[in-house]
């Protein structure tokens, strides 16, 4: 009898465990219907680009040079490009290079949304649909700040995705990605939302959705779906030390993306409101030093000249606690809020100043379009093998000088050969006094090749002249 009872108990336990397994399985989502419905609107994007290749050394190995920069971009944005792999010593001056990414159709007349880095610099953009139809796409507009690009193909009655409300996303929700990792079309991966509102150092205008969905090279620009089959994000970046998926992926919220799409459709570009301040987070020590009860807000470290902030009376040392009625908990929240507004909008800014709350009315303006000039300045500076910045006021006071620039980074080449180092202060170049970084760039453009020119440098508080020579 005891043996029989024991067998019955074992059987009961087995049945219980089986039902538990079925119950747990029932709690997991079934993505099959979602995938069947959404896949036709997800596209594969490949590009062609004519690029200059480096010469190949006599030993047959490629001289990569600038390709290292492209590899860094790959690790950050998994662009999908491959460096030139060598071959004959008679390397062609130009070659075609393909990149691979994903995208999705947002309207039946052929508008497609993807990442800017997927199509950046492309001469030809190919779009492949789920049913194997292929089209050549045109770029309607791009926005590098949010890493978005709007494409258009000449087609009608196309399948489309349904856009969701990314503001309703919460950590722990199931999400699903469809894309072309490593060229494997319409690959499906799933996971959960790890966090929302993530601010990354290089992307202040996007409150990213962080997920643990497996994202790899080729997923860029593809959709992130919720369980309702609605797109809540555009897969854009991964955190990686190996170049592949490590459990931390980032997607651009659809609410951010559709705001950008609206402007790209209308004018092909995105205009943003401008406040004109440099900000930093408030930690415990700073909060205590300013008299705040708890660390929050955005501390203004600098007010830009002739900016809306300066005109309204904002000052360095002010802590912005709320902007246009929205509380600022972390400094990274402010750029996104400002960027969503338009020039001419009138807002109230709540700041903490001298131990008291103060409300300052302010009118936003159009952000100056100085990206091209900044890029040109860096190009001029990199000709000298270094990147410089304006001299901080406290350092200028300490050295008792006006003007000048500080070496922020030595790239190599000319600057390295001439013995310059990070932290050096340059006050004169080729007989001309340096007023600032912009002025330095203008002077740098006119420095002749193969001839030494005088450069005055202050290092560790001691000034000296060095002969600076640019060799081709």
**Which residues belong to the active site?**
117, 147, 220
Interhelix angle 437-445/371-382, rounded to 10 degrees, is 60
Nearest alpha carbon to residue 174 among 152, 197, 190, 195: 190
What's the chain's Rg over C-alpha atoms?
A: 28
Number of Cβ within 10 Å of residue 260's Cβ equals 25
Query: First and final CA of the chain: distance in angstroms?
Result: 98
- Token pair 């202050």 is found at 458
Q: What are phi and psi of 337, to 5 degrees?
A: -65, -45
Nearest alpha carbon to residue 119 among 43, 45, 183: 45
Q: DSSP 3-state assignment of 4?
A: helix
Q: What are phi and psi of 341, to 5 degrees?
A: -100, 175
In whole angstroms, what is the distance from residue 299 CA to residue 375 CA? 28
- Dump the DSSP string for 151-210: EE-S-SS----EE--GGG--TT-EEEEEE-GGG-TTEEEEEEEEEEEEEETTEEEEEEEE
Tell me the pairing of strands 230-238 and 162-163: parallel
Q: Across the strands, what pairs with 45?
A: 101, 127
Q: Which two tokens stand for residue 277?
A: 């301040």
Sign of CA dihedral 223, 339, 305, 303: negative
């Amino acid at each position: 009898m005891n043996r029989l009872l024991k067998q019955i108990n074992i059987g009961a336990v087995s049945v219980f465990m089986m039902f538990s397994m079925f119950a747990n399985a029932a709690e997991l989502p079934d993505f099959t219907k979602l995938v069947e419905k959404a896949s036709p609107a997800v596209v594969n994007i490949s590009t062609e680009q004519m690029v200059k290749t480096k010469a190949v050394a006599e030993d047959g190995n490629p001289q990569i040079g600038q390709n290292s920069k492209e590899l860094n971009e790959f690790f950050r944005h998994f662009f999908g490009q491959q460096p030139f792999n060598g071959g004959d010593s008679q390397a062609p001056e130009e070659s075609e290079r393909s990149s691979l990414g994903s995208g999705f159709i947002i309207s039946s007349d052929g508008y497609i949304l993807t990442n800017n880095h997927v199509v950046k610099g492309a001469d030809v953009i190919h779009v492949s649909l789920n049913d194997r139809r292929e089209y050549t796409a045109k770029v309607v507009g791009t926005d590098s700040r949010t890493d978005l690009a709007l494409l258009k193909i000449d087609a009608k009655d196309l399948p489309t995705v349904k856009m969701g409300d990314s503001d309703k996303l919460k950590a722990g929700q199931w999400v699903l990605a469809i894309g072309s990792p490593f060229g494997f079309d319409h690959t499906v991966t799933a996971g959960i939302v790890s966090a929302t509102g993530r601010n990354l150092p290089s992307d202040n205008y996007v409150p990213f959705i962080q997920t643990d969905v497996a994202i790899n090279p080729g997923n860029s620009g593809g959709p992130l779906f919720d369980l309702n089959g609605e797109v809540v994000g555009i897969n854009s970046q991964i955190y990686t030390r190996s170049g592949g998926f490590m459990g931390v992926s980032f997607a651009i919220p659809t609410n951010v993306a559709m705001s950008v799409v609206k402007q790209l459709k209308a004018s092909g570009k995105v205009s943003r409101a401008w406040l004109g301040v440099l900000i930093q987070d408030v930690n415990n020590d700073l909060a205590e030093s300013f008299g705040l009860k708890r660390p929050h807000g955005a501390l203004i470290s600098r007010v830009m000249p002739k900016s809306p902030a300066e005109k309204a009376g904002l000052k360095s040392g002010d802590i912005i606690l709320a902007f246009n009625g929205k509380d600022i908990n972390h400094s990274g929240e402010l750029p996104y809020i400002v960027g969503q507004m338009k020039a001419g909008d009138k807002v109230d800014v709540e700041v903490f100043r001298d131990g008291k709350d103060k409300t300052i009315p302010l009118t936003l303006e159009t952000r100056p379009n100085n990206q091209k000039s900044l890029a040109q300045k860096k190009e001029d500076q990199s000709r000298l093998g270094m990147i410089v910045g304006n001299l901080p006021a406290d350092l200028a006071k300490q050295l008792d000088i006006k003007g000048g620039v500080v070496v922020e980074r030595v790239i190599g080449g000319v600057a390295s050969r001439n013995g310059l180092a990070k932290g050096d202060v340059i006050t004169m170049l080729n007989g001309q006094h340096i007023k600032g970084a912009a002025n330095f760039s203008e002077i740098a453009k006119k420095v002749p090749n193969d001839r030494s020119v005088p450069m005055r440098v202050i290092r560790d508080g001691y000034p000296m002249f060095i002969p600076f020579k640019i060799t081709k």
